[in-house]
């Protein structure tokens, strides 16, 4: 069985203090994927990051909340995590095995952090992973020398590092057309 992992589609990523990001259509594509999975009767699993650091964008309840339209419907599973990987300190792996889910489609925020880490771990745990490149986004990052790195370049690097070794990378439309 196939499931959609919707990673961290939360209000904290809408905070105006966030740096610039690429892919302004990421949320639109994430919503398209959720609609597709729901229509097909395939599971949608919501991953929610709960920040603990004082400077976390996910410390307040408001910022921890899912963005409008991204909350679970019906009995959709919510996995709460405190680190980048949705598998560490959660029952995600056990839940997937109990539901006989072998294929994961991954989308969400942000690609170089929680999306990448969860994708890598899912593949290492033996799941067949598809990563939807335009249903994820990347923010500019400050490098070790205090210079801002371009979010699109970071996004492309992460896709290249994940493609074929950890996941099949495709666009939302390519996935929906399969």
How confident is the model over 78-89, as pLDDT tens digits?
999 999 999 999
Average pLDDT, the chain: 96
How many structural domains comprise the chain? 1
Distances (CA, A) of 165 to 12, 27, 104, 112: 30, 26, 15, 16
Report which of 103, 126, 136 is spatially closest to residue 6, judged by C-alpha positions.
Answer: 136
Q: How far is CA 78 from the centre of its chain?
A: 13
Q: Please write the tens of the pLDDT for every residue from 122-156.
A: 999 999 999 999 999 999 999 999 999 999 999 99
76, with CB counted inside 10 A (0-12, 13-18, 19+), is middle
Find the CATH number of the domain harbouring 61. Answer: 3.40.50.850
Per-residue model confidence (pLDDT) at position 42 = 98
Containing structural domain, residue 133:
2-177
Comparing CA positions, the residue from 45, 36, 37 lying closest to residue 8 is 45
Q: How large is the greatest C-alpha to C-alpha distance in the chain, in angstroms?
A: 48
User: Which among 61, 130, 117, 55 has a CA at the least distance from the CA of 89?
Assistant: 117
DSSP conformation class of 100: T
| Residue position matching structure tokens 């019906």 | 74
CB 67 within 8 A of CB 14: yes
What whole-number percentage of the chain has pLDDT above 90?
A: 92
State pTM to two decimals: 0.96
């Amino acid at each position: 069985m196939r499931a959609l992992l919707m990673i961290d589609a939360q209000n904290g990523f809408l905070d105006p203090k966030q740096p610039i990001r690429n892919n302004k259509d990421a949320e639109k594509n994430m919503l398209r994927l959720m609609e597709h999975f729901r229509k097909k009767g395939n599971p949608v699993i919501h991953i929610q990051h709960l920040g603990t650091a004082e400077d976390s964008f996910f410390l307040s309840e408001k910022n921890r909340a899912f963005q409008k339209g991204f909350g679970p419907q019906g009995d959709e599973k919510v996995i709460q995590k405190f680190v980048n990987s949705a598998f560490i300190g959660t029952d995600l792996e056990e839940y997937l095995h109990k539901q006989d889910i072998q294929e994961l489609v991954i989308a969400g925020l942000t690609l170089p952090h929680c999306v990448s880490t969860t994708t890598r771990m899912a593949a290492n745990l033996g799941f067949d992973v598809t990563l939807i490149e335009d249903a994820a986004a990347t923010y500019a990052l400050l490098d070790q020398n205090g210079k801002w790195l371009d979010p699109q370049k970071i996004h492309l690097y992460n896709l290249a590092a994940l493609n074929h070794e950890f996941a099949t990378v495709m666009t939302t439309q390519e996935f929906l057309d399969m």
